[in-house]
Amino acid sequence: MFWLSTVGLALLLLAWLRTLYNLLADVDLPPEYTLDRDTEPAPVADDGEAPPALSVVIPARDEARNIERSVRSALALDWPGRLEVVVLDDRSTDGTGEILARLAAEDDRLTVIDGVELPPGWKGKPHALHRAQAHATGAWLWFVDADVELDPLGARRIVGGARQQGVEMASALGELEVDSFWERVIQTRMGAVIAGGNPLGEVNDPEHERALANGQCLLFSRAAYDRLGGHEAIKDSVLDDVDFAKRAKAESEGYRLFYGPGVFKCRMYTGLGEIWQGWTKNLFPALDYSLIATLIVTLLLFAFSVLPFILLAKNATLAATGQPYEPLFLLLEVMICTIILATDALGHKVRGYRWGHFWSFPLGMLIIVALFWNSAIRITSGKGAVWKGRVVEAGRPKKGE
């Protein structure tokens, strides 16, 4: 047991040293897949061609807090061609409709569509976007969420980046805005878990099975969108972004996922309640509704991120109280936890977040483990997740559905 424990701790130490090195060397953010605020936009049309029309499509359900900022940022895009914004108000009850009516009266480039009752077999967001895109006339369709604020050059960066790399579908991981304590504790670490598990080099390799896109920002040429079957092809998906990415790889439709703080920023959730509900609807579907995958992922997250702090606390307590302990274990645990906290603080700093909450890393990771299991239990039990007043993902889909 001594040697087994020593080897295990040594492997953890090496794994975290590699993580720290990757962060320092920017290994996980290849420049060809990065669109930051210093990125000069590539051309959106060939020389001599007229710039294409762009349609920004936004679904909105009870988004009074965010919708004006989102729509105004879309209307303010620095786009050389014709620009239109299409918003579907999905039967909001919080004043979203009134805000949209006022904005539409100010700018005739904004079209507002009213939502309808969901037809059988459809999830809410895919149906909203399916109906909204029918009113869009642009050669490029840019689906963005209502809590997204677009960078003025964001459209030119992502369309130009897609064209430069010869693809007609693209997505981006934008700047995550966090403000409350729980956002800083959970959201930034969840972002790191998702990004760490989906290296951009693998996601953007057409031969690799790994597929990821971000529904906050999904770009298609109209032709590529139609070739992939549109939202009707993924109408029952709670992860329309990932399913589009999977379809793109299956259909050999080239796409790119960029790290894109120069494309948009987004504050997903504002507190613990929204964080809990939002990730409950997403995490179990992201693992293909697999309890085995949930077990493996959460065991790895726990062993990699939480267990070292538990072991350190145990051995430090033994040492402080004069009880027998293994000094080598305590030394390795101190080294591991120090590197973990340093990596977390540095990661926050280079991504533009406050780094002073590094001490909360084990708490955040423990909550993330709990979120995975809450998602799995609620969905498999049939209780489902509640989002925007709707119960979604109640029960695992049957094979073939």
For β-strands 140-144 and 54-60, DSSP reports them as parallel
- In angstroms, the CA 278 to CA 273 distance is 8
- pLDDT of 317 > 80? The answer is yes
Looking at the chain, the whole-number percentage of residues with pLDDT higher than 70 is 96
- pLDDT of 48 > 90? The answer is no
N- to C-terminal Cα separation, the chain: 47
- Distances in Å between the Cα of 104 and the Cα atoms of 101, 191, 296, 362 are 5, 34, 49, 47
Half-sphere exposure of 322 (CA within 13 A, CB side): 0
- In angstroms, the CA 156 to CA 162 distance is 10
pLDDT digits (tens, 9 = 90+) for 339-395: 999 999 999 998 888 899 999 999 999 999 999 999 999 999 888 777 666 666 655
Nearest 10 degrees: CA dihedral of 181, 187, 193, 198? -160
Q: Which residue has the tokens 């030394």?
A: 331
- pLDDT of 400 > 60? The answer is no
Q: Is 339 helix (H, G, I), strand (E, B) or coil?
A: helix
Residue 97 near residue 89 (C-beta atoms within 8 A): yes
Across the range 170-189, mean pLDDT stands at 95
For β-strands 264-266 and 148-150, DSSP reports them as antiparallel
pLDDT digits (tens, 9 = 90+) for 115-153: 999 899 898 899 999 999 999 999 999 999 999 999 999
- pLDDT of 157 > 60? The answer is yes
- Is 34-174+214-270 CATH 3.40.1010.20? no
**pTM higher than 0.75:** yes
Across the range 269-274, mean pLDDT stands at 90
pLDDT digits (tens, 9 = 90+) for 285-296: 889 899 999 999
One-letter amino acid for residue 298 of the chain: T
Nearest 10 degrees: CA dihedral of 32, 154, 64, 113? -100
pLDDT digits (tens, 9 = 90+) for 325-338: 899 999 999 999 99
List, in sequence order, every residue forming a beta bridge with 171; answer none if it has no partner. Answer: 218, 257
Across the range 93-97, mean pLDDT stands at 93
Dig out the tokens for 351 from the structure: 């991504």
- pLDDT of 396 > 90? The answer is no
Q: Strands, DSSP E only, in 109-222?
A: 110-114, 140-144, 148-150, 169-173, 175-176, 217-221
Across the range 176-201, mean pLDDT stands at 93
- pLDDT of 38 > 60? The answer is yes
pLDDT at 385: 72
pLDDT at 351: 84
Tell me the domain boundaries of the chain: 2-26+288-392, 34-174+214-270
- Can you give the length of the chain in residues? 401
